[in-house]
Amino acid sequence: MKVPFLDLKAQYNSIKAEMDNAISNVIENSAFVGGKAVSEFNKNFADFIGTNHAIGVGNGTDALIISLKALGLKHGDEVILSANSFIATSEAVTNAGGKVVFVDCHPDYYTIDTNKIEEKITNKTKAIIPVHLYGQPADMDSIMEIAKKNNLFVIEDAAQAHGAFYKDRKVGTFGDVSIFSFYPGKNLGAYGDGGAIVTNDDKLAKYCRMYANHGRIEKYNHEFEGINSRLDGLQAAVLNVKLKYIDEWNVNRRKVANWYRDKLSGFNKIILPKELNGVTSVYHLFVIRSNKRDELKEFLKENSISSGIHYPIGLPFLKAYGYLNHTPKDFPVTYKYQSKLLSLPIFPEMTEEQVEYVANKIKEFYK
Ligand SMILES: *Cc1c(COP(=O)(O)O)cnc(C)c1O
């Protein structure tokens, strides 16, 4: 049996007629930049998350940069984020003129360890960016409390968590501004790059909308210099179709996660992901820990099972951040886990047989 890491073709086949129609509509109307699909998507996505505004932009990384600019980040301002994330989170801070400050990840939940945030706050700290990593919401009660106490902005990086709940609210509704990515492999993925900023703040929304579109309010009336980072018409049309199915797909992801838990329950050679109390993860990834990670990954590959590593090098240990001179003892959990984390295949179309096959191969490896 072959088990891919994800299966975008299977997803396309399940909605092919509707998708082809939506795409050809955009082409028939030459609505490539701006247009009806984009304005519809901005409304649909804001409704889905539960915010007053959604602004489609070119990608999730730009969404972060634009959000930081909107919050008035100035040169030298510090922004706190988890050492265990994709580089987009930290890269955006630097690109917006700020200084990256890493915090170790939580040993059970892999999101930012909220017990270690306050020791990193200085009089230059401007914001915290919690990442809802692998589809699991960060501990938002603690983060919002710390932010309030220290007068900091919160930007949720929900690139991996479309539709996830923290208690009774969706992620993206807690921060001053929040961002999503529609990279094809994300839970809600376009057929190319795409991203969105969501917020309840009218002023921030207006600034983001203008900044992403050359600082203009109308054609050739530019109030300030911005950039060109717009969600295009084709991607918006694709996302409008997919948005109708995202809840169903997230339910399926959770079902797959539960099959893994069933079939691997009591098997103590690996450590299954833990859910934070009160959250509903959308399992962008199903990440286990293994002391023989690389050998296990290789064994799975020999048995036609694709797996991934998120992430093989913690952000502070990347060459890109060598200038910060961090050592493993600065972020012991992130450092220890970078050689143990393994992402098993998970996607909404995955069958119970496929999950069973993966689980059996994991057990076989340890025999
Ligand atoms: C994918 C991702 C991003 C960036 O999104 P792009 O659309 O690829 O620019 C940001 N943060 C996290 C955690 C991501 O996984």
**Residues 6 or more apart from 303 whose CB is under 8 A from it?**
361
pLDDT, one tens digit per residue, over 289-301 is 999 999 999 999 9
Q: Is the CB of 85 under 6 A from ligand 1?
A: yes
Return d(Cα 267, Cα 292) in angstroms, integer.
15
Look at residue 363 in the predicted model and tell me its pLDDT.
Answer: 98
For ligand 1, say whether the CB of 226 is within 6 Å of any of its atoms.
Answer: no
| CATH 3.30.70.1400, domain 246-366, yes or no | no
Structure-token match 């987009």, residue found: 88
Closest to 93 (Cα-Cα) out of 132, 56, 125, 141: 125
Looking at residue 314, its pLDDT comes to 98
Task: Name the one residue in this structure whose structure tokens are 């893994």.
Answer: 260
DSSP 329-341: GGSHHHHHHTTTE
Question: Who's near 30: CB < 8 A, 6+ residues apart?
Answer: none
Average pLDDT, the chain: 98
The preferred substitution site among 156, 160, 282 for testing ligand 1, maximizing ligand atoms within 8 Å of CB, is 160
- Could you state, in order of their start, the residue ranges of all structural domains in the chain? 8-103+110-243, 246-366
pLDDT of 218 strictly over 90:
no
Burial (CB count within 10 angstroms: exposed 0-12, middle 13-18, buried 19+), residue 168: exposed
CA 367 – CA 364 distance, rounded (Å): 5
* 235 Cα: distance to centroid of ligand 1 (angstroms): 16
pLDDT digits (tens, 9 = 90+) for 239-282: 999 999 999 999 999 999 999 999 999 999 999 999 999 999 99
Contact 252, 352 (CB under 8 A): no
**What ligand 1 atom has the least distance to the C-alpha of 132?**
13
Determine whether the shortest distance from the Cβ of 229 to ligand 1 is under 6 A: no
Q: So what's the pLDDT on residue 219?
A: 86
Which CATH number is associated with domain 8-103+110-243?
3.40.640.10
- Coil, helix or strand for 335? helix
Q: Is the pLDDT of residue 151 over 90?
A: yes
Over residues 129-158, mean pLDDT:
98
Q: What would the pLDDT profile of 308-350 be if each residue is shown by its tens digit?
A: 999 999 999 999 999 999 999 999 999 999 999 999 999 999 9
Q: Kindly state if the Cβ of 63 falls inside 6 Å of ligand 1.
A: no
- Token representation of residue 13: 């086949």
**Is 58 touching ligand 1 by the criterion CB < 6 Å?**
no
**Closest ligand 1 atom to 194 CA:** 7
